[in-house]
Chain A
């Protein structure tokens, strides 16, 4: 039984957490690709930037003597998302919009976004330095241990308070996004523009406004994802830059331009990573007696250091079997 609990802690909970972060990041990438037709490479750094905004707000709130029943990072998250949305609009207006106005090709915008990546990372290092920070310097990180002794296990299910909250917050965000895209006029206009931008323009849809709405959603969800990642691990300037590639893989696996695909892709890649580094020999331990001795003690598929490669294996397999992604995504 202990082995199953270990599996639950290591694969299910970690997969949910990682999947939530990937999904929220991939939604932004997929929406931007759907509407603006370019791969927004700086998205990871928008996540990091959002996490630093949350960190500043949380530190300020704590310094001013505010106390909260939940981790301060979650309490100030809505404000941070609001600020991040404005910064995303600012980034678009200063860097991408002028290029679009000149009719720049998607590859030009991609290069510009790499420039934005370097700029954001540089600015963060300039103001905050390179050291790692934690949201839990002045408040404890609550850890829940759910006793499983009624199943005959001595090991508890362990989950931290931020992990529970981030799973709940992700579910709320995904449901809200679903209703926005299927019920609201602007959500439908976003889908229409991702489907056929020329026809959207011909229909009289205000495409500039749709672009702004897209940045607001992508920017605020990026701040959410970045904050969650920082709450789960630590905050550092290259926080989300390190996971931008699996996030892109998630968006592509799901079908580019497809919000539900990004969510599915995010969780698929997240679970695949945790399962690939899990030592499956642990599950065989109870049967150790009856098994031949040549079965090694370590049956993980890849060593932990190679976790990032898993996303690409998944990507290659999905693209071979279903070139448009799980959901039918935009092709060009």
Chain B
């Protein structure tokens, strides 16, 4: 297993928000977490990435326990995270944003930057522009590009389609599948549940801090209970 959560309990100090999450994906998987607002979807990603305290359970990355490790240790191990909001350095140029994603790397990063520009051609044109001046869709590209610069084996995305126009949603989802095809495991939280589950190899439904359903994307889409409760009928 690339990432394996076993009975995770976590929160921000008060009552736990995650009350026993079990979730696992392989390197070849695109895992999508869906569920109602406040169910702890984003919290789940943050817990993996050491941004909040996990009080019990196991977080295994390639079999190694990484519970409560900080990002500066996790990024070199191969984890990468795209937060939902404020996910670019607005006052830095597009190119500098990508360089910051590769902060932990000591080797030559020009090849990786070239790959990102191939993947998102609009970014090459705007490489010297401040990221804060870009449109929402292009910012999301910068955010994904930044996260891919560390050459991760697991890419976690928190609602990559939030606030984007349908055209960009489609494009971002296509790129996510391409990144996955190049050998990067994906774990993402998504509000666009139907669309995301259609290409997900694993789907997890989170409600009230636990996962109530787990299956392939198609299974969840076809499941009557899931459809009724979480996919709007």
Contacts and interface: CB of A to CB of B under 8 A. Distances in A.
A and B held together in a complex: yes
B103 A185 contact: yes
A189 B103 contact: yes
A205 B103 contact: yes
A206 B83 CA distance: 18
Contacts of A189: 100, 103
B91 interface: yes
**Interface centre among B75, B81, B89, by most A CB within 10 Å?**
B89
B89 A196 contact: yes
B214 interface: no
Contact of A204 (B51, B92, B99, B150): B150
Nearest to B49: A202
B98 to A, nearest CB: 10
Interface string B68-112: 001110111000010100111111100010011101100000000
Contact of B92 (A185, A188, A201): A188
B49 to A, nearest CB: 7
Interface in A169-212: 185, 188-189, 191-192, 195-196, 198-207
Nearest to B76: A204
B213 to A, nearest CB: 29
Contacts of B72: 201, 204-207
Contact of B81 (A202, A207, A328): A202
Contacts of B89: 191-192, 195-196, 199-200
Contacts of B71: 201-204
A196 B75 contact: no
Q: Which size bracket describes the interface of A in this complex?
A: 10 to 19
Interface of B is mostly: loop
A188 B75 contact: no
Nearest to A207: B72
Contacts of A196: 86, 88-90
B146 interface: yes
B100 A202 contact: no
B88 A203 contact: no
**Interface centre among A189, A195, A199, A201, by most B CB within 10 Å?**
A199
A192 B100 contact: yes
Interface string B102-144: 0110000000000000000000000000000000000000000
Nearest to A258: B91
Nearest to A327: B91
A265 to B, nearest CB: 17
Contacts of B101: 203
Interface string B53-80: 0000000000000000011101110000
Nearest to B104: A204
A34 to B, nearest CB: 10
Given A202-B71, A203-B103, A188 B96 contact: yes
**Interface centre among B70, B88, B100, B146, by most A CB within 10 Å?**
B100
Contacts of A185: 99, 103
A204 B101 CA distance: 8
Given A204-B150, A205-B72, A199 B86 contact: yes
A253 B99 CA distance: 30
A59 to B, nearest CB: 44
Contacts of B91: 191, 195, 328
Given A188-B92, A191-B91, A191-B92, A204 B86 contact: no
Contact of A198 (B74, B83, B99, B100): B83
Contacts of B99: 185, 188
Contacts of B100: 188-189, 192, 200, 203, 205
B140 to A, nearest CB: 14
A205 B73 CA distance: 10
A199 B76 contact: no
A204 B83 contact: no
B6 to A, nearest CB: 24
A192 B146 contact: no
Contacts of B75: 203-204
B81 A192 contact: no
A135 B169 CA distance: 67
Interface string A285-318: 0000000000000000000000000000000000
Given A202-B49, A204-B71, A195 B92 contact: yes
A35 to B, nearest CB: 14
Contacts of B103: 185, 189, 203-206
A195 B90 contact: yes
Interface of B: 49, 51, 70-72, 74-76, 81, 83, 86-92, 96, 99-101, 103-104, 146, 150
Q: Which 9 A-B pairs have the closest CB atoms?
A: A204-B75, A204-B104, A195-B89, A205-B103, A195-B91, A192-B100, A192-B89, A204-B72, A203-B100
Given A185-B99, A206-B103, 5 more contacts: A188-B99, A191-B89, A192-B89, A196-B88, A196-B89
13 contacts: A185-B103, A188-B92, A191-B96, A192-B92, A195-B92, A196-B88, A199-B86, A200-B100, A201-B70, A201-B71, A202-B81, A202-B83, A204-B103
